Structure 1
Amino acid sequence: MKRVLITGAAGFLGSHLSDRFIKEGYYVIGMDNFITGDQKNIEHLLNNSSYEFIEHDITKYISIEGDLDYILHFASPASPIDYLKIPIQTLKVGSLGTHNCLGLAKAKNARILIASTSEVYGDPLVHPQTEEYYGNVNTIGPRGVYDEAKRFQESITMAYHRFHGLETRIVRIFNTYGPRMRLNDGRVIPAFMGQALRGEDLTVFGDGSQTRSFCYVDDQVEGIFRLLHSDYSKPVNIGNPHEISIKDFAEEIIKLTGTKQKIVYKELPVNDPMQRQPDITLAKKLLNWEPKVDRAEGMKKTFEYFKNLTQEELYKSEHKDFSDYIN
């Protein structure tokens, strides 16, 4: 069996990737320190003979016994609520954590795929965003801790590829959604669905004209799987190019959930991107990949997941105590 290490394995995407690689016949080693991950995301895997879990902070030295064929580096806070509360840890996991993963890949002669993000484009001046676009990022703004951590992550990965000849892959992930998202993590889909389920009005920041495009998790995982097994070392956008304004999206959620809430408007956060849409020409050409799940189908599956949460989970505050991680 080929062996793959997945960092951030207890997170939303990391747990779905673990499922996919086990299904494909791989032996998966999951790693997470639960700073933003959740053990319930991997509980169904803990007794699987093709899975083992190691609780570890990857900003510290990583030791894995035996061979490794692949590393997927998905450890990082990804929600604004999280990375604004733990900005230094966010920078450390993108820098020190990535450095440790690359060093491990070099030692094990393993191919590594790192999870970058559409946030490297910042508030883009080019629309849609192609991989050649350098971005428009405020390095000292509140979102800069996440944006720059990911941009550095790309830079050091390419340095290892060019200097050491390491087999590297870089995926730039655009907004992804589906079951196992944290309900109150600050991102728009769980935020809207949580508000609808609690009978609260839906909060739109700014006038709602800003756009997003949403990719269902199964499509995202398929794109990542194909990219890992490709021969391409530079960044590739993986996302759904179907764009929608936040105001129109809020109205879609109200219709989907059958609620009668109003839309309320609040001040737009600093450096919140006004447009976000991937150009996936490269992914189509290189990977023969494009999203298959339309938004109506994906949102229905996601809503069913949130609808089945307990009342305690539905009303639980996501103001997590990060005191043990602030350093």
Structure 2
Amino acid sequence: MKKILITGAAGFLGSHLCDRFIKEGYYVIGMDNYITGDKKNLLHLEGNINFEFVEHDITEFINIEKDLDYILHFASPASPIDYLKIPIQTLKVGSLGTHNLLGLAKDKNARILIASTSEVYGDPLVHPQTEGYYGNVNTIGPRGVYDEAKRFQEAITMAYHRFHGVETRIVRIFNTYGPRMRLNDGRVIPAFMGQALRGEDLTIFGDGSQTRSFCYVDDQVEGIFRLLLSDYVEPVNIGNPHEITIKEFAEEIIKLTGTTQKTIYQDLPVNDPLQRQPNITLAKKLLNWEPKVNRAEGMKMTFDYFKSLSSEELLKRDHKDFAKHMKK
């Protein structure tokens, strides 16, 4: 039985990856320190003989006694609310944490896949974004702690591949959504759905003309799975290229939820990307992958998940002053 370590296992994407690899017949070791992860995302795996969980901060030394065939590094704050609240931890998990895991991969002779992000492109001047685009990033802006952590992560990963011969893979993840997202994590899908469920008006930052492209979690996991097992070592975009403006998306959410709320507008946060759309030509060619779940279907499944949350979860909010912090 192949053994895989998945960091960030209690997070949104990490927990879905645990499910997928168990389903594929792997022995999964999940690791998380719960700084942004949620224990309930893994409750359904309690008692599963092919799963074990280790509570650990990967910025500290990592000791795994078992042999490992693969490592998936998905430990990192991923929403602006998170990395504005814990900027130092965000930088450390992308640098020290990645260094520790690359060292572990070298020691175990394991293949490691690093979760990078479309944020390495910053506020792009090229549209759609290809893997060859170097990006337009403000290193000292409020988003820089996340953007630069991920850019460094890619650099040290390629250094370990070139210098030590470690088998590495890099996925650049574009906006992904689905069940187990945190309703209060500040990203547009849970933000709009949470506001709709609470009977609040939907808040659009800027004039709503900025665009995003949303990929359902099952499609994202399939792309990651195929990339891990491929022979390609350089970054690959995995995302849904179907682009939509935030204003159009807010209207879709109002229609989906059957609510009567209005949209209201606030200032656009500093360095918030105006365009985000993946070019997935490389993923199609190398992995024979492209997204299958259309947005209407995926949004309905996601909304049904949010509707199932308790009233306490629905009302919980980490940061009401998100926009204020983004302006610092």
Task: Report whether the alignment pairs 1:116 with 2:119.
Answer: no
Distance in 1 (CA, whole Å) between partners of 2:250 and 2:173 is: 22
Aligned runs of 1:214-229 on 2, under 5 Å?
214-229=214-229
Q: Is the 8 A contact 1:9 1:30 kept in 2?
A: yes
* CA distance in structure 1 between the aligned counterparts of 2:141 and 2:20, rounded to whole angstroms: 36
What are the Cα deviations for residues 186-237 of structure 1, in whole angstroms up to 9, with x where unaligned?
Answer: 0000000000000000000000000000000000000000000000000000
User: CA offsets, 1:232-266, max 9 Å, x none?
Assistant: 00000000000000000000000000000000000
Tell me the SS of whatever aligns to 2:140. Answer: coil
Aligned length: 320
Q: Secondary structure at the match of 2:25?
A: coil
CA contact (8 A) 1:46 1:53 kept: no
5+ residue gaps, structure 1: 321-327
Task: Please give the root-mean-square deviation of Cα atoms over the aligned residues, in Å.
Answer: 0.8
Is the aligned partner of 1:296 residue 2:271? no
Equivalent residues in 2 for 1:78-157 (5 A)? 78-157=78-157
Which residue number in structure 2 is paired with residue 209 of structure 1? 209
Q: By how many angstroms is 1:318 displaced?
A: 2.4
Q: Deviations over 1:127-182 (max 9, x none)?
A: 00000000000000000000000000000000000000110000000000000000
The alpha carbon displacement at 1:299 in A equals 0.1
Summarize the alignment of residues 186-265 of structure 1 with structure 2, pairs less than 5 Å apart: 186-265=186-265
1:49 is matched with 49
- What residue in structure 1 maps to residue 306 of structure 2? 306
Q: Residue in 2 aligned with 1:28?
A: 28
Structure 2 residues without counterparts, runs of 5 or longer: 321-328
Residue 208 of structure 2 aligns with an amino acid whose one-letter code is G
Calculate percent identity across the aligned residue pairs: 86
Kept in 2, the 8 Å contact 1:5–1:29? The answer is: yes
Query: Aligned partners of 1:310, 1:71: CA distance in 2, in Å?
Result: 34
SS at match of 2:116: strand
- Between the aligned partners of 2:10 and 2:242, the Cα distance in structure 1 is 28
Q: What amino acid maps onto 1:122 in structure 2?
A: G
TM-score, scaled to structure 1: 0.97
Deviations 1:28-71 (A, max 9, x none): 00000000000000011121000000000000000001200000
Partners in 2 of 1:316 and 1:66 — Cα distance? 39
Shift of 1:76: 0.1
Q: How do 1:279-290 and structure 2 match up within 5 A?
A: 279-290=279-290
In structure 2, how many angstroms separate the alpha carbons of the residues matched to 1:287 and 1:319? 39
Shift of 1:319: 4.7
**Which position in structure 1 is the counterpart of 2:39?**
39
CA contact (8 A) 1:83 1:146 kept: yes
* Equivalent in the alignment of 1:3: 3
Q: For the residues of structure 2 that align with 1:308 and 1:2, how far apart are their CA atoms? A: 35
Q: Give the superposition deviation at 1:316.
A: 1.4
Q: Distance in 2 between matches of 1:267 and 1:238?
A: 30
Q: Is the 8 A contact 1:80 1:186 kept in 2?
A: yes
Preserved contact between residue 32 and residue 75 of structure 1 (Cα < 8 Å): yes
Give the AA of the match of 1:236. V
SS at match of 1:277: coil
**In 2: Cα distance, 1:191 partner to 1:37 partner:** 18
Matches within 5 A, 1:164-175: 164-175=164-175
Give the deviation of 1:95 after TM superposition. 0.0
SS at match of 2:172: strand
After TM superposition, the runs of 4+ consecutive aligned structure 1 residues lying more than 4 A away are none
